[in-house]
Chain A
């Protein structure tokens, strides 16, 4: 990709794709619950960048994507709050936050 070409919606989408993949890698490979939650935040962030970019380039006046990004932030804030509360509850119960320690559903 030519780095000097004008910044367009494709640049933002590519950035968002890379960021999302990094978050995905983290969510799939880390053993610590807190690290997994952080990776989820990375992914949510990538989604928001995508929303705002598409809004800016396709509907600059309506700003629909920006509103979606606001609500997406609300949901991910709620998610992270609940997620961390769950981590604390799990820690109290089992003295560990490693994902490997939670395999009760093994068939």
Chain B
């Protein structure tokens, strides 16, 4: 089984070959990268088939080596092939291969295609290393490399303002989550004394308190990477990158790494209990918010981005309910149908020369292959039998029902309804109605073949779901008829509503129905529920503005109340008024003035002179040293 090491190594070698030559190589770099990922796909399938009959959650292959010794601490890197990682390598290499082949057609005119392929290869290598790692430290390293690749690919067209800003936003937002991850690793090491899965997840007996701390910190990291509320703001902006890269990174694989992390660390979450509930709450909030926001976007890629956020929330719900198989299975099916949808969106954008759905329409007649594959993806997303999304969504709902989480079950059904609605909205706008673009034509073959493969996988994979559950070590069964019927009915209702609003009259071109019927809902949603505005205002805008806002609040509201009561008092007693003005007003205004003055002072520290910063650091150092000396003497 030694060949497993070659799976992540091949793309890494491809990256090492291409990176220094990327400017010169241009299209000559493409075969190297594609060959690496296709061979890796072959090896992954072989590894998967080797594990398949064994199954039942046990590791089939494990090998590790120490790469550094710090004092008595040994840091090891290793490869662990168990059912989860075997499934993930197949998913990653299959979607990766599809995206790379598709990109031959999509990117062939770009000057920096060599660099694009190099970054894709590095990303693939990191993701494969992540899923195959046997300890949390290695997982964290691969995690960070993926973050870097994501930054590079979002900002691929860095000549333009938008991608540049989006890449920085994505990098910083995920970094906020990574701080939680790093702290979680530190706490884990202090408590359990190891990073190894075998020790941390199986041998070590977790106390509930420590388990809660570690699990919540890991969850925070996962929320950053998997774009969960409130750290989801980066993912829609990340759509500024090339569409195939979005398909691979921001839909199928990287954003699912957070889910993968939680799935891997699930024993810790279960030892905590509280953390499971938090995971479920985060998931259900995200699923609903993401679905609602997807319903008002006009940019086709943003619809898909919010839909990704929502579906990732779905996976978190499942994991929070303890349904490892359900959550992980949804990860797998989502990876296939969402990358299919993104690749389809790429073709549509190429053909229609716009990303705005209001300017599309009537594509069905001119682009039959794209229409069929995109429709399969859409139906899978909406959860319609027999496409893959139906099966995995059903498993999640079953887990919720058996776990007696009835409120979450209802909210998950609501999300399914919203999902079906925005899928219908997108589909009818793009494929039906009047044609608004001239010269529509079908894409190249190298773009259609990967989509066809993904569509085929999406169609058939669902029928394997009971075997898959058994493979992961749980009892597999076919979905219960009642739940299946309920979810299908809800999805059907959503699709019908979408048709009624957007498909019924083929000339409807804007969002009138929702806008007219529920104006305030629409405006709140179209402002992305004010998340970005809130962050801009309070975090980006900063301290001074907070101080000013406080004093403004003070002048209008607090002063108003104080003055109002003063007016009543004035009639009763002049003494009261003077007390009022001097003491209460003074106190209230004083607070505001104090905050503002503090802000102004703090600002002055920022002189921009290196040497004054140096002085500050030195002063702190002297104090620290004196403290040590006095304490030690």
The chain A residues found within 8 Å of chain B, CB to CB, are 24, 27-29, 99-100, 102-107
Contacts and interface: CB of A to CB of B under 8 A. Distances in A.
A28 B614 contact: yes
Interface string B580-621: 000000000000000000000001011111110011001000
Contacts of A28: 611, 614-615, 618
A100 to B, nearest CB: 7
B606 A106 contact: yes
Contact of B611 (A99, A104, A107): A99
The 5 closest A-B pairs by CB, nearest first: A107-B606, A106-B608, A103-B608, A105-B608, A107-B603
A106 B605 CA distance: 9
Contacts of B606: 105-107
B608 A99 contact: no
Contact of B609 (A24, A27, A99): A99
A7 B429 CA distance: 88
Interface centre among B603, B611, B614, B618, by most chain A C-beta atoms within 10 angstroms, is B611
Q: Interface extent on B, as a size class?
A: 10 to 19
Contacts of B603: 107
B618 A24 contact: yes
Contacts of A102: 608, 610
Contacts of B608: 102-107
Nearest to B606: A107
Nearest to B603: A107
A27 B611 CA distance: 8
Interface of B: 603, 605-611, 614-615, 618
Nearest to A29: B611
A103 B618 contact: no
Nearest to B609: A103
Given A27-B611, A106-B609, 6 more contacts: A28-B618, A99-B610, A99-B611, A102-B608, A104-B608, A107-B607
Contacts, number: 29
Contacts of B610: 99, 102
| Dominant secondary structure at the B interface | helix
Nearest to B612: A28
B212 to A, nearest CB: 39
Contacts of B607: 103, 106-107
Contacts of A29: 611
Contacts of A27: 611, 614
A104 B608 CA distance: 6
A102 B618 CA distance: 21
A27 B609 CA distance: 13
B358 to A, nearest CB: 43
A107 B615 CA distance: 17
Contacts of B609: 99-100, 103, 106
A103 B613 CA distance: 12
Contacts of A106: 606-609
A92 B366 CA distance: 58
Nearest to A33: B610
26 contacts: A24-B618, A27-B611, A27-B614, A28-B611, A28-B618, A29-B611, A99-B609, A99-B610, A99-B611, A100-B609, A102-B608, A102-B610, A103-B607, A103-B608, A103-B609, A104-B608, A105-B606, A105-B608, A106-B606, A106-B608, A106-B609, A107-B603, A107-B605, A107-B606, A107-B607, A107-B608
Nearest to B605: A107
A106 to B, nearest CB: 3
B260 to A, nearest CB: 39
B568 to A, nearest CB: 45
Contacts of B618: 24, 28
B385 to A, nearest CB: 60
Nearest to B543: A107
B244 to A, nearest CB: 38
Contacts of B605: 107
A102 B613 CA distance: 13
Contacts of A105: 606, 608
Contacts of B614: 27-28
A70 to B, nearest CB: 21
A24 B610 CA distance: 13
A72 B495 CA distance: 68
Contacts of A103: 607-609
A27 B603 CA distance: 24
B573 to A, nearest CB: 48
A23 to B, nearest CB: 12
Contacts of B615: 28
A37 B607 CA distance: 21
A98 to B, nearest CB: 11
A103 B615 CA distance: 16
A99 B612 CA distance: 11
Nearest to B613: A105
Nearest to B604: A107
A33 to B, nearest CB: 10
Contacts of A104: 608
A78 B607 CA distance: 29
A104 B610 CA distance: 11
A50 to B, nearest CB: 15
A106 B618 CA distance: 20
B199 to A, nearest CB: 33
A103 B607 CA distance: 7
Nearest to A104: B608
Nearest to A103: B608
